[in-house]
Amino acid sequence: MTKSIQKTEDVASEIKAIITEYEFSSRWSMLECWHAVGQKIIETKADIGNLAIELGRSERTLEYAVQFARKFPKLEEVPEGKSISWRKITQHYLPTAKKEKEEHSHIWEIRCKVCGTKKED
C-alpha cells in the first residue's frame, strides 16, 4: 500500500471518529434538554396543555419529556450508549400513550390549539 493511500485511510479514520463523537454529543444534548424539561414539568406540576401553547411545542412532545424523566430519573440509566437518540427513546423506551393516559389522566387534556380552552367530555 502506498503512503498516500495509507495517509488517506488514517485521516478518514480520524474524521470518522470525530463525526461519531460530535453526533453523539448532539444527540446527548437533546436528551439532556428533554430530560430537564420533563423534570421541570414534574416538579412544578405544570399544565402540559397550557405549556404546549405557550412554548409552541406539541403536547405529545412535552408528555414524552415527562415520561422520559420518570422512566430515567438519572440520565446515566439511559440504554444503548452512543447510538441512543430522542427518537429511539420515544419509540422504544417510553410507555404507550394509552397506558400513560390511564396512569396520569391529570396530565392528558385535550385543548384547543387556537384559544387553549379545555375540551369537556
* pLDDT of 117 above 80: no
For position 98, what pLDDT does the model report? 41
Write out pLDDT tens, residues 26-66.
Answer: 999 999 999 999 999 999 999 999 999 999 999 999 999 99
pTM above 0.85, yes or no: no
Which residue shows C-alpha cell 448532539?
Answer: 26
Burial 70-105 (b: 16+ CB within 10 A, else e): bebeeeeebeeeeebbbeebbeeebeeeeebeeeee
- What integer is the mean pLDDT of 77-95? 88
> What is the DSSP-derived secondary structure letter of residue 106?
T
- What integer is the mean pLDDT of 106-116? 65
